[in-house]
Structures are given as structure tokens and as C-alpha cells.
Amino acid sequence: MEPTAELDARFSAENATPTPWREARDQLERAETYWLSTVRADGRPHVTTLIAVWQDGALHFTTGAEEQKARNLESNRNCALTTGVSSMSGGLDLVVEGVAERVTDPGRLKRLADAWEAKYGPEWHFEVGDGVFVNVAQGEALVFEVAPPKVLGFRKGEFSQTRWRFR
């Protein structure tokens, strides 16, 4: 199901139109790095870069169980993932907002492991363990998905802000 697109005229050029969802989705699929923003138990923000896979209408990422982002998600699963370009002259920046949910189903984990390797290469090969990814060099990794109720897109150069809402 396609989300509804809304242009925010306050942050858009006079003749701007909403960016098509297809373009944003394609960028979410192709992007190599993303920034994850979570909140520490004491309320301070935590931001880190990571790799991720867009599949089945959600962005998926991994983390070790003892890493700060995993500890943050234990107490507050709300998060944002961003990707884009560092340019004012062109490009599309994206913000995926939502709730991080653990993925533990072996079939889904296998499909995601295959997607990780297809996107990032054999050094990102994962086996499926008991509700986790397992990599010989990196150990176990928890897998999370963020199925967004909302994605924001900020087009530079032509300047427009699009909000896609999912039902």
C-alpha cells in the first residue's frame, strides 16, 4: 500500500511538488549508511551511524545486545533513522520515524540475512541463530525493524519538504 504524500509549503519552493514515494523508497533501498537516533534512559540523545536494509515496508538494522543503542531501545523504542546527502545544491534527505521492534522469526531473519549479504557483500554474511543474526567475526546481533507511520523527505536544490503517511 502506497503512503499518502503531503507537501509542506512552509519549507518548499513556490512551485514545488511532493516527491514521489517511489523515489524515496528507492533511496531507502540503495543508501549505504544511515544515522540512528535513540534516547538514553536519562533522556540524553544518542546518535550513531549504521547500515540497514529496507524490506517489506520497513527499515531494518542490527546491534549487539550490549551496545548503547540496544540499551536505549530497552527503555524507549521510539527512534528515527536518517539518510541522505551533505549538499545544499541537490539530493534528497530522508527521516524514517517509528518504533523499533525486534525481529526474531527464523524465516524473516533468513530473508533479511540474504538481503544484507546481497546489499553489502560477503563480509556481511549472517547465519540465523536463536532469534538473532550470527556472524563468525562479529558475534550475535539483535535485528530490529522500524515500520514507519511517517517518513519525511527534504529535497535540496529544488527545495521541497514531503511527508509520507502510512496507514
pLDDT in tens, 32-42: 999 999 999 99
Show Cβ contacts of residue 67 under 8 Å, excluding neighbours closer than 6 positions.
Answer: none
Which residue carries 540497514 as its cell? 52
pLDDT at 135: 87
Q: How many CB atoms lie within 10 A of CB 23?
A: 14
pLDDT band at 139 (very low <50, low <70, confident <90, very high): confident
Which residue carries 515496508 as its cell? 57
Q: What is the overall mean pLDDT for the chain?
A: 95
pLDDT tens sequence across 46-80 = 999 999 999 999 999 999 999 999 999 999 999 99
Q: Which domain holds residue 71?
A: 4-165
Number of domains in the chain: 1
Mean pLDDT within 2-10: 93
Show Cβ contacts of residue 11 under 8 Å, excluding neighbours closer than 6 positions.
Answer: 154, 159, 160, 161
Question: For position 110, which CATH number holds?
Answer: 2.30.110.10
pLDDT tens sequence across 150-160 = 999 999 988 99
pLDDT tens sequence across 76-114 = 999 999 999 988 888 999 999 999 999 999 999 999 999
Residue 52, exposed/middle/buried by CB under 10 A (0-12, 13-18, 19+)?
A: buried
pLDDT at 47: 98
Q: pTM of this prediction?
A: 0.94
Q: What is the DSSP letter of 9?
A: G
